Structure formats: C-alpha cells, structure tokens
Structure 1
Amino acid sequence: MTDTQQASSSSHSAHASQPISPELRRWVAEQMAAGHSNTALRQSMRDAGWMQDAIDAALGPAAVAAAPAQPAAAAAPAEPRTKMPGPLLEGSPLYVDAGDRQVQVLLTMKHPRVVVFGDLLSDEECEGLIAGARERLARSLTVETKTGGEALNVDRTSDGMFFTRGESPLVQRVEERIARLLHWPVEFGEGLQILRYAPGAQYRPHYDYFDPAEPGTPTILRRGGQRLATLVIYLQEPGQGGGTTFPDVGLEVAPRRGTGVFFSYDRPDPSTRTLHGGAPVLAGEKWVATKWLREREFA
C-alpha cells in the first residue's frame, strides 16, 4: 500500500469515519496469518491514530474474510537490491561524518532498516527552511499510483511545498550533507519537501514505495525509478504528539528538532516492514523536511 492507495480506494466501511482500503484489509489478513493477535493489531492501529470505529471495521471477522487475494506479483516479491542508500555504521559509531557536520547516531534497527540521527540540522537551518517554505505552503498532495499524477489524500492532512534541488545555498548545503551521510548522489534524490502539521493533522500509516501492481506506477518510475529510502527531519517540535510511528514493530520516534529518521526499503513490498505514519499533532505545530531517494537520477 503506497502513500496514495488508501485515498484512491473506493472501499469504505459504512460505519467508519476513516476509509478502509482493500490494501489495509490485506495487511490485516497478513498480520493475522503471521500470528499477531487481534488485540495487538488493535493497539497498533490505535497508536497510529486510527479511530475506534475504523479499527472495528478493519479487524472484524467479515473485514478479514473479505480481504482480496494477493496478486500473483505480490506472491513472489522482487529480489532485494544489494546497493542501497544508508549510513556506514560498522563498529557501532556514536557519530557519523556528514561532511560539514558530525551527526549523532541515536537508534538503529535492522528490520525494518531504521536509523535515527541527532543534530542533523542546526536550529538556524531549521528556521531557515521554515521561513523559505512558509509563503509557498498548500494542502499536501500525494503521488497517485492509479494514474501517475497527484491527488489530495484524506489520510494526509498537512500543508506542504517542494524546494527544487539546489534552489538556495541552504537547500544545497542540506542536500549535500544528506548525500554524504547516506552515501547516495544528490541527483538521485527528489526535491526537499517541507510539511506543516497543525493541531489535529496527521498522516495515517502508509508505504513510500510505488506499488508495481498499480497502473500509474510505470509513469511515475520514468522520473528516477523506484523510491528506495526516506529521510524525515524535524524542523519544529509540536507541543504534544506528532511522532513518527512504525506500527509493524511498535516503534514511535519523538519529533525532536534537528533529529532525522531514516528508513530504507530494498524492495516494493510489505515484507520490508516500513509501514509508517505521522501521529496526530495534539498541541502546537510540527514542521518536517522529507527527502525521498530514488534508484537513479530524478529529473
């Protein structure tokens, strides 16, 4: 399930206030088949910001029984890539070199591949990105894998904008730091996206890769191939809430300013366990910068 499939699905529960897509039902069925209890799944969905009526609809016996069969391609996932973006963490370093800055390593996880970086951006850099983006914000869109275009998504309630690569000295400096940190060329990255989450805003659990089974995916992939990794950097802390959640593993990263959350997915498949979301902001505003990395030059 990509970051757009939930919105494009027309399968909604008649009683749920949040849309229940076929992909979510499939995910529920997979988790139960893997031995996860109904109670554990309910807690994971609550932690990720789902409302009780939507949880009941998604986890009821009828919903699980109605889960669509996996397409043939999903039954045999693509082989994992061997060359991937990511930091060099041999020897368990406390700091890694990002060129113009030594960045802290706060947390690492192997499956899913998650690394949390501290002190990735300075306060001044965070403020500069916010100031440059503020006047250009609009309701956030998501890539629409049904068509290859973009669309509003009810699961994403932030405002956002994109900087073009190298648009300003600050953007260029941040991009070069990310490229050095993750050992991936600047040209293989999408433009830096800035998002603002007001109180109540969230991004429900989704995947960032593009589903190969969707009809619009070939069009999307022409601009740089598949997404391989995501880096989310917190620019402004909310007063409460707003963490980045990974429901499959029960992980939530607090949105501390200057901290970055990196995760990679070596194939476009749920087996990467990179289902993630932005928990609702309960007080204040959360600002983030997101960098998506592609398999080849993004034009």
Structure 2
Amino acid sequence: MKQTVTPALRQWIIEQASAGFAPDAVLEAMKSSGWDEDVAISAMESTLREHLQSQNKSATRASPPAADVPRTASPVVARPASSLPDVALSGAANQIDVGDGLVEVIASLINPRVLVLGHFLSDEECDGLIAAARPRMARSLTVETKSGGEELNPDRTSNGMFFTRGQTPLIERIEARIARLVNWPLENGEGLQVLHYRPGAEYKPHYDYFDPKEPGTPTIVKRGGQRVATLIMYLNEPTRGGATVFPDIGLEVAPLRGNAVFFSYDKPEPSTRSLHGGTPVLEGEKWVATKWLREGVFT
C-alpha cells in the first residue's frame, strides 16, 4: 500500500528536529511505526530542506493526528489519547485476554486514565521476581534533572534494582504480557524495576514524566523520548500501609499480591493529574515491580 506523506507528518518531522532529536532517531521512530524506510528518508530530506528554505516564515505548531505520525511525539506536545498506551476494554467485560491468561479489571477511570487490575501476575511469578532481585538490591535513586543522571532523594526511601529488557525468561514473559495488555511496542519499555520497602519506607507523591523545564531532560529523552505511562505490579502484601495514592483524584490502591495499577499521561504537565506516591509501610514489607513506557524505542 502506498504511503502518503501528509502535511501533519511533515510538521511532526520539523518539531522533532526543533526539539533536538537526531535524524537517525526520527528515522527509527518512523520505521517502528510502520513507515517504509525509503519513504521515511525521502520525507525527512524534503521536509527539512524546505523548512530551512522558509525559516523566515512562522511554522505551524499544531499537534498532528495520531494516525499520520509515529508514536514518539515531541516531549512538550500533548498526544491524542489514541497514541498512548492503553488497555482495550470491550463493553461490560471485566476480564482481558493477555494471551497467556485473563486479567481482571477491578476499576477504570477515563480521565485521568487509571486502571486497577487483578491477577496480573501469578504467585510463582511474584516469588520469582523477588528471588531474582533480592541479591542485587541497593538504595533507590531518582533521576537527577539538572544533569540527566541519578541521585539519592530523601523522598524515596526504598531499595531497588533494574533488570535489562528480556534479561530472563520470566522477565521476557512478563514484558510480553505488558505489551499485549497496553497495546504498546515491547521495545518502547524501560527495563523492569523491582523495589523493596521496609517499615517506614515510602515514596512521596511525584510525577513519572521528565520535566521539560529541567536542563537534564534533553539528555534523558534521547533514550526513547518522554515517559507516557506506568504499570506498578504488587509482588506481596504488607501487613499495614504501603498503598499507592493519587492525591489529585482521591484514589488509593491497596497493594494486593499479583494485582497492578496502570496509568498514562499525555503530556509532561501536572494537568495530567498523574501525581502519585507510595504511602509509608507501617508493618511488614512491600515489594513492587514497575514498568515505565516511553514514546519511542528505549535504548
């Protein structure tokens, strides 16, 4: 089928160049979204050449339709809901077929997009993740937004570690299930992170996207663009405390073994109401696994 280079696609290419994305990254984003390589190269070359010739004219900044562009939009541009990871719900169905089993839909919010899911992981999978992660745990770090590196943060008092994508058969199976659940390319996911919270440990309310106003953000988003969604999976149940809270919408999700909570955010702004945190563990311990999803291929 012939692929048509639309004005919306040309505008998207200009926005990516203006945002500092390298041509190779833009090309890979187009290819991963289904564009033929020759068409993509021709579109990039002609668009950027014409843009350079007409820089004295004001460029239109309207966001392009999701059907016409790849899924790696500029980190400061809001994406249509159709271009975000999401769980496809059909009618009144309260279960989702993820290929290797059924996942329950416990609660679903449209705006902001939040879903609480039951039986996403089996007991054996929860135990396997904890056992594989336990020997490698260290004090959790957060992104250092000034430089794009990492730092200790007093708001986050857990221990944690990262698996590389597809590192073990167990990780590979869970990542494939996530990709099917939210209809998002597997390669657009960061490595799975496992966190351990002892009594008193917490993660105060925060956003998962990278603040575009911070000087380190351009460095961070070179590895796959902005974060656009999060999936938190509960690997055990603390005796008391440890809930995941969304202060802006008054939602509190209990940390039940095998369950998960999914939420997305269409732009890196507080208006997404994606503020969330982990309340202090009051008794027992809490283990969770987190998957962050990016706009483009995470390298």
Q: Identify the TM-score tier after normalising by the shorter chain.
A: 0.7 to 0.9
Q: Residue 16 of structure 1 aligns with which residue?
A: none
Structure 2 residue aligned with 1:79: 78
Residue matched to 2:282? 282
Residue identity opposite 1:169 in structure 2: P
Taking the aligned partners of 1:112 and 1:79, their CA distance within structure 2 comes to 14
CA offset digits 1:240-299 (Å, max 9, x no partner): 000000001111000000000000001111110000000000000000000000000000
The 3-state SS of whatever aligns with 2:230 is: strand
1:163-208 deviations in Å (ceiling 9; x for gaps): 0111111000000001011111110000000000000000000000
Identity %: 65
1:106 corresponds to which residue?
Answer: 106
Q: Distance in 1 between matches of 2:132 and 2:93?
A: 34
Cα distance in 2 between the residues matched to 1:106 and 1:169: 28
Per the alignment, residue 22 of structure 2 pairs with: none
TM alignment of 1:207-226, pairs within 5 A: 207-226=207-226
SS at match of 1:288: strand
Partner of 1:45: none
Q: Which amino acid aligns with 2:169?
A: P
Partner of 1:180: 180
Give the letter aligned to residue 136 of structure 2: R
State the alpha-carbon separation in 2 of the partners of residues 124 and 98 from structure 1. Answer: 18
Residue 80 of structure 1 aligns to which amino acid in structure 2? Answer: R
Equivalences for 1:16-55 in 2 at 5 Å? none
Cα distance in 1 between the residues matched to 2:107 and 2:224: 29
Do residues 293 (structure 1) and 293 (structure 2) align? yes
How far apart in 2 are the matches of 1:91 and 1:214? 42
Larger Rg: 2
| CA distance, structure 1, for counterparts of residue 224 and residue 99 of structure 2 | 25
Counterpart secondary structure, 1:80: coil
Letter of the 2:78 counterpart = E
Cα drift, residue 101 of structure 1: 1.2
- Partners of 1:159 and 1:147 lie apart in 2 by 23
Q: TM-score, normalised by structure 2?
A: 0.73
Distance 1:90 1:212 in 2: 35
Indicate the residue corresponding to 1:272 in structure 2.
272
Q: Which runs of 5+ in 2 are unaligned?
A: 1-75
Q: Tell me, in whole angstroms, the C-alpha distance in 2 between the residues paired with 1:92 and 1:112.
A: 20
- Secondary structure of 1:135's match? helix
Moved over 6 A (4+): none
User: Deviation at 1:143?
Assistant: 1.1
Whole-Å Cα distance in 2 between the matches of residues 294 and 209 of structure 1?
Answer: 9
> What does 1:212-251 correspond to in 2, within 5 Å?
212-251=212-251
Give the C-alpha shift of residue 90 in structure 1.
Answer: 3.2
RMSD: 0.9
213-222 or 86-95: which moved more?
86-95
Match in the other structure for 1:126: 126
C-alpha separation in 1, matches of 2:181 and 2:290? 15
Separation in structure 1 between the aligned mates of residue 83 and residue 168 of structure 2, nearest angstrom = 30
Query: Which deviations, in whole Å up to 9, do the C-alpha atoms of 1:143-172 show, x marking residues without a partner?
Result: 111110000110000000000111111000
